[in-house]
Amino acid sequence: MSSPMPTVLQVGPYSFIFFSSDRSEPAHIHVKRDRQLVKFWLSPVSLAKNRGFKDHELNDIAQLVEEHEQTLLEAWHDYFDP
């Protein structure tokens, strides 16, 4: 059975995750650190929602999402379209 919150990637303090309830939405990734959470749409990468990250850190996270966009998209399709 699939985890309700699979971690797709870990980079430094950041966990890149999906929520199993996200199936009906376009491809995206949630990135969390401590109690902060941000959501980025994939393809093209754009900020969807931010809870707690400061702008300078958002820029760093956006760059990580862009660097790993292909991997994240493949993981999305593997998880939601098996």
Cβ partners under 8 Å of residue 30, min gap 6: 16, 17, 18, 19, 37, 38, 39
Residue 8 tokens read as 């797709």
- Do the domain assignments include residue 54? yes
pTM: 0.91
Tokens linked to 20 = 């199993």
Question: Has residue 2 been placed in a domain?
Answer: no
Q: How far apart are CA 5 and CA 34, in angstroms?
A: 15
Residue 1 has pLDDT above 90, yes or no: no
CA distances in angstroms from 62 to 1, 15, 16, 24, 77, listed in the order given: 30, 13, 12, 23, 20
Instruction: Give the domain extent around 73.
Output: 7-80
Over the stretch 16-69, which tens digit does the pLDDT of each residue have?
999 989 989 999 999 999 999 999 999 999 999 999 999 999 999 999 999 999
> In this structure, is residue 22 part of a structural domain?
yes
Structural domain count, the chain: 1
The model's confidence at residue 2, banded by pLDDT at 50, 70 and 90, is low
pLDDT 10s digits, 37-46: 999 999 999 9
